[in-house]
């Protein structure tokens, strides 16, 4: 597990931590959500678990950070290759 520099972190930061440990920094939204919940990297305000749908929406809303391969697969973009909005 990658150590976290600050606590609490944002959902997109938690996603990048999990994806960093995946081959090609690519993973399913379900896997990313499960790992975030298992590691307790991000806790929703209501205390509930992060859902795969939230991972999809966050990736879709941050195209400079993530690439959606399909509706259930997300890739973290390297810092040097991030798209400009």
Q: What is the reported pLDDT for 81?
A: 53
Supply φ then ψ for residue 14, to 5 degrees: -60, -40
Looking at per-residue pLDDT, the higher value among 80 and 50 belongs to: 50
Supply φ then ψ for residue 26, to 5 degrees: -125, 135
- Nearest 5°: the CA angle 46, 52, 54 is 55
Q: Where are the domains of the chain?
A: 11-77
Q: What is the CATH number of domain 11-77?
A: 1.10.10
For the question of whether the overall pTM of this predicted structure is more than 0.75, the answer is yes
Q: What is the pLDDT of residues 16-71, one digit of tens each?
A: 999 999 999 999 999 999 999 999 999 898 999 999 999 999 999 999 999 999 99
């Amino acid at each position: 597990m990658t150590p976290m520099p600050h606590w609490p972190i944002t959902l997109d930061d938690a996603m990048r931590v999990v994806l960093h440990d995946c081959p090609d920094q690519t993973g399913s939204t379900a896997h990313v959500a499960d790992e975030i919940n298992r590691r307790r990297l991000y806790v929703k305000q209501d205390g509930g678990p992060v859902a795969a749908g939230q991972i999809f929406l966050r990736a879709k809303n941050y195209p400079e950070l993530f690439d959606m391969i399909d509706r259930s697969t997300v890739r973290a973009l390297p810092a040097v290759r991030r798209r400009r909005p």
